[in-house]
Each structure stands twice: as structure tokens, then as C-alpha cells.
Structure 1
């Protein structure tokens, strides 16, 4: 009996490794072209995220894993996102000007359109495409944002790690997400490709 259990455990372990490897391969391919069963493979990577994160930390760069996973989830969520109605844009405060005059509340920075950073334009774009814009100082602020309205979609701008983290968190709340990676990481002076944001807003328009 114990021998049978041992064999079954070994088979499950090997199959898990194989499945995770296939999911990683598909996620890497997703950076350059459309892939089938993106949602299925994204779910597998979510399930094995912590051991995979440790593996990448030891032998590569964990940011690569997050980048691949975000790409896979974007492909999986794209069509569902287009069907949503109540949308928000969640962005990090690190993209704002160093001398930003805006005040902060429990739902983030309240942009006053002073023209000193990209948020003046993003605020106008959010209104144009019917999104609510939130400039948050941490992922914990998302909890307060969700109490504002009953959103069903979130366009996220952040580093790959934060994108993947928030995508996993909002998945459990049945909010469809789509992520736009920033050009650089950090706590200040970060940037996003503005043309990419507009391209994404157009692409996700219903």
C-alpha cells in the first residue's frame, strides 16, 4: 500500500513539474504572440507562484516570472475586459512630479491637473474613455478604492511585480484586469510609455 502511495505521489510531483514547465514556456511565448489556453496556464502559474518565484530568485530574476505572467493574463483577460462597463485605472504615485501639490486621501492622490507630470493627461484620458482614475501610494489602497464603486474592470499601470500581485488579488474579487508595465522600477521618477497607454485604452474600448 505504501509503495503504491509513494508511486502516486511521485507521478503527481513529476506531472506538476511538467505542467509548470509547459505553462512557463507558454507564458514566455505570449510576450511575442497570441497563445491558446492563456487563462488555463495563467491559473497554473498562480498556483505554483511561490515555488516558481523562489526558483527564479535563485537562478534568474524573479521580475521575469512576473513579466511573463502579466503577459499571459493580458491575453486571457482582453476579450472579457471589453465586455465590462464600470472601469477604473489604478496607477502608482511614483510617476508623479517630485513637487506634486496634490493632496492624499484614503483612495490615493487627488490630481489637480497642474501639468507637472503625466497624470494631468491621464486624468483627461480617463474621463474620455469612461474610467475612474486612482493614483495610489501602495497596493493596500486598492481595498479603499473597491469600496468607492462596484467596479468590474481595472486597467493597471505598475511594475511587473505589482501588476501580477494586484492581478492575483483582484481575480478573487471577480474584477477583470489588464496590465501596462512601467518603463522602470523604483519609488520615484518612474515612467510609463504614454503612447502604450493610449493604444491600450483604444484596444479595450467597447
Structure 2
């Protein structure tokens, strides 16, 4: 009896490793082209996220894992995001100017369009394409943002780690997510390729 249980556990362990390895391979491929079953493989990587994160910490760069996972989720969510009616943009405060005069409340920084940073332009473009803009000072603020109004989808701008973290956190919230990664990490003076933001807004324009 114990021998059978041992064999079953061993087989399950081997299958888990092979499945996780296959999901990693597919996620890597997804950076350059469309892949099938992106949502399925993204779910596998979500399930094995912590051990995979540890593996990447030991032998590579954990940001690579997040980048691959975000790519998979973007492919998986693309069609559903395009069909969404009520959309918002959630962006990090670290992209704002060091002398930003805007105040903050529970739903984030209240941009006053002072013209000192990219948010003045993003605020205009968000409105143009039918999005509400939220500038948050941390992923914990997202829970307040999603209570502000009834949204169908959220376009996220952040580093790959925060993108993946928020995407996992909003899984099951009936909110479709799509991520635009920033060019660099950090707590201030971060940047995003604005052409990529516009390209994404155009992609989902009705």
C-alpha cells in the first residue's frame, strides 16, 4: 500500500516538474509570438509561483519569471479586454515628477495636470480613449481603486514584478487585466515607453 502511494507521489512530482517546465518554455516563447493555451499555462505558473521564484532567485533573475508570466497573461486576456466597456488605467506614482504638487487620497495621487511629468499627458489620453486614470502609491491602493466604480478591465503600468503581483491579486475579481511594463524599476524617476502605452490604447480602441 505504502509502495503504491510512494509511486503515485513520485509520478505526481515528476509530472509537476515537467508541466512547470513546459509552462516556462511556453511563457518564454510568448515574448516573441502568440501561443496557444496561454491562460492555462499562466495558471500553472501562478500555482507554482513561489518555488519557481525561489529557483530564479538562486540561478537567474526573478524579474525574468514575472516578465514571462505577464506576457502569457496579456495574450490570454487580450480578446476579453477588447470587449470590455468600463476600463481604467492604474499607474505607479514613481513615474511622477519629484516636485509633484498633487495631493493623495485613498485612491491614489490626484493629478492636477501641472505639466511636469508624463501624467499630464497620460491623463488626457486616458480620457480620450475612455479610461479613468488612477495613480497609486502601492499595490495595496488597488483594492480601494476597484471599489471606486464598477470596472470591467484595468490597464496596468508598472514594473514586471508589480504587474504580475497585481494580476494575481485581481484574479477572480471579475476584472480583466493587461500590463504595460516600465523601462526600469525603482521608487522614483521610473519611465515607461509612452509609444507602447499609446499602441496599447489603440489596440483596444473600439
**Under a length normalisation based on structure 2, what TM-score does the superposition of the two structures give?**
0.99
Match of 2:186 in 1: 186
Three-state SS of the structure 2 residue aligned to 1:171 is coil
Deviations 1:27-76 (A, max 9, x none): 00000000000000000000000000000001101000000000000000
Matches within 5 A, 1:97-136: 97-136=97-136
State the distance in 2 between where 1:46 and 1:57 align.
16
State the distance in 1 between where 2:113 and 2:150 align.
26
State the distance in 1 between where 2:38 and 2:60 align.
23
Could you tell me how far 1:133 is from its partner in structure 2?
A: 0.2
State the distance in 2 between where 1:62 and 1:200 align.
25
State the distance in 1 between where 2:132 and 2:138 align.
17
State the distance in 2 between where 1:55 and 1:171 align.
24
State the distance in 2 between where 1:195 and 1:61 align.
27
State the distance in 2 between where 1:38 and 1:146 align.
25
Match of 1:62 in 2: 62
Could you tell me how far 1:146 is from its partner in structure 2?
A: 1.1
- What residue ranges of structure 1 are gaps of 5+ in the alignment? none
Deviations 1:99-144 (A, max 9, x none): 0000101100000001000000000011001101000000010111
CA-based RMSD: 0.5
State the distance in 2 between where 1:80 and 1:143 align.
21
Deviations 1:180-203 (A, max 9, x none): 000000000000000000000000
Aligned length: 206
State the distance in 2 between where 1:24 and 1:196 align.
25
State the distance in 1 between where 2:86 and 2:57 align.
37
**Under a length normalisation based on structure 1, what TM-score does the superposition of the two structures give?**
0.99
1:6 maps to 2:6: yes
- What residue ranges of structure 2 are gaps of 5+ in the alignment? none
Match of 2:167 in 1: 167
State the distance in 1 between where 2:171 and 2:115 align.
34
